[in-house]
Amino acid sequence: MSKGFLEIENLSQRFPQPDSSDLMTVFEGVDLEIQKGEFVCLIGHSGCGKSTILNVLAGLATPTDGNVIMDNKEIKGPSLDQGVIFQNHSLLPWLSARDNVMFAVRARWPNWSRAKRLEHAERYLKMVGLDHAMDRKPSQLSGGMRQRVGIARAFAIEPKLLLMDEPFGALDALTRGVIQEELLKIWSETHQTVFMITHDVDEAILLADRVLLMTNGPHAKVAESVKIDIPRPRERASLHQHENYYKIRNHLVDFLVHRAKDMSLEAQQEAAQGVDPRHKPRFVNPANPEESAPEPATDADATAAADRPRMRAV
């Protein structure tokens, strides 16, 4: 099996509960691979541990179990190899837009001259269309512009992996659409490896090569890896006219509405029975079901098979 650029192995997160000595398992046994240059979106309901996975990748959280290997090195803490864009822009409010990007550039390349840093920072700010607002402080920028500065800051340090935690969640729909297209444009120029959390199915279809679907917590799993079989360049305006669009969209929505919950109940039963939770997401291509991996055992089979160890679906 080919080694991915980013390897997540048997990742689990458990938290102590205030009113019980048992640990609460948020998610467990997650195996994932992400290739270099891939744009991957993770979708799941609130509380399934999406943000925790992202924080582990960022090095800001330590998982209870498992490890993450990026480019043959284990991720042990935050570093400049992982750029992060948070939902709440997290710009430093006392610095101008330009200085916020400069701050990151300086951290990345401390030996660069000031002129070189300035030139680099301004290039990325222009890429997100902020040439006219570089001197403004975050408080003087609109929500969308702040998020653009955040994007410029993250792309400017040219990280190996770009992590985005619902970056457009706080924006209105119109602004969101514009920035999504800008993000697509920058991504097509830089081909960063991107791991992004979103709640928005359409956003995921527009941006991603692959969408990871997470079941509800506790005992959440990354159940499916859905291929977005729509050629690039994609455009928001014409995306829904593609023949595969509704097949993919229906599959994602169906998962979120029905199966995320059903599979969560299944996972909890399995956990109670002591089944090894380690799993890989099932590969699905809604546009071409023949490519998809076989369906896992049904509910009835699972109950019957409860006593004997179960094969993992790969």
Partner 1 sequence: MLTNLNFRAGVLSLVFLVVFLGVWQLATAPEALLIGDQELSEYEMLTGGGQQTSSGRGIPAPTEVFAHAVSELSNPFYDAGPNDKGIGIQLAYSIYRVLLGFALAALIAIPFGFVIGMSPLLNKAFDPYIQVLKPISPLAWMPLALFIIRDSNISAIFVIFICSIWPMLVNTAYGVASVRNDWLNVAKTHELSKIRTAFTVILPAAAPTILTGMRISIGIAWLVIVAAEMLVGGTGIGYYIWNEWNNLDLASVIFAILMIGVIGFILDASLAQATKLVRYAD
Question: Residue 194 Cβ, how far from partner 1 at the closest point, in Å?
Answer: 15
Question: Residue 22 Cβ, how far from partner 1 at the closest point, in Å?
Answer: 27
Question: Residue 282 Cβ, how far from partner 1 at the closest point, in Å?
Answer: 32
Please tell me whether residue 75 binds partner 1 under the rule CB under 8 A: no
Report residue 229 as tokens. 């079989």
- Cα dist. 83→57, 78, 152, 206, 292 in Å? 10, 9, 11, 21, 32
Please tell me whether residue 58 binds partner 1 under the rule CB under 8 A: yes
Rule CB under 8 A: choose which of 20, 111, 113, 139 binds partner 1.
Answer: 139
Report residue 288 as tokens. 């071409």
DSSP structure string for 18-53: TTEEEEEEEEEEEEEEE-TT-EEEEE--TTSSHHHH
Give the residue with the Cβ less far from partner 1, 146 or 221: 146
Provide the 3-class DSSP secondary structure of residue 223: strand
Rule CB under 8 A: choose which of 15, 36, 107, 303 binds partner 1.
Answer: 107
Rule CB under 8 A: choose which of 5, 103, 112, 283 binds partner 1.
Answer: 103
- The span of 18-26, 80-88, 114-122, 191-199 binding partner 1 (CB under 8 A) equals 80-88
- The span of 72-80, 114-122, 205-213, 220-228 binding partner 1 (CB under 8 A) equals 72-80
Provide the 3-class DSSP secondary structure of residue 118: helix
- The span of 68-76, 102-110, 124-132, 265-273 binding partner 1 (CB under 8 A) equals 102-110
Q: Which residues contact 120 (CB under 8 A, 6 or more apart)?
A: 105, 109, 112, 156
Report residue 221 as tokens. 């799993």
Q: How many residues of this chain bind partner 1 (CB under 8 A)? A: 24
Rule CB under 8 A: choose which of 62, 78, 119, 301 binds partner 1.
Answer: 78
Please tell me whether residue 137 binds partner 1 under the rule CB under 8 A: yes
Q: Which residues inside 143-182 make contact with partner 1, applying CB under 8 A?
A: 157
Question: Residue 92 Cβ, how far from partner 1 at the closest point, in Å?
Answer: 6
Q: Which residues contact 59 (CB under 8 A, 6 or more apart)?
A: 75, 76, 77, 78, 79, 82
Alpha carbon distance 50, 252 (integer Å): 16
Helix ranges (H only) for 75-140 are: 97-108, 114-127
Q: Which of 206, 200, 167 shows the shortest CA–CA distance to 39?
A: 206
Give the residue with the Cβ less far from partner 1, 94 or 246: 94
Q: Which residues inside 28-57 make contact with partner 1, applying CB under 8 A?
A: none
The edge-to-edge listing of strands for the beta sheet with 222-227 is: 82-85, 161-165, 193-198, 39-43, 210-214, 222-227, 282-284
The residue ranges that bind partner 1 (CB under 8 A) are 58-60, 77-80, 82-84, 86, 88, 90, 92-94, 103-104, 107-108, 137, 139-140, 157
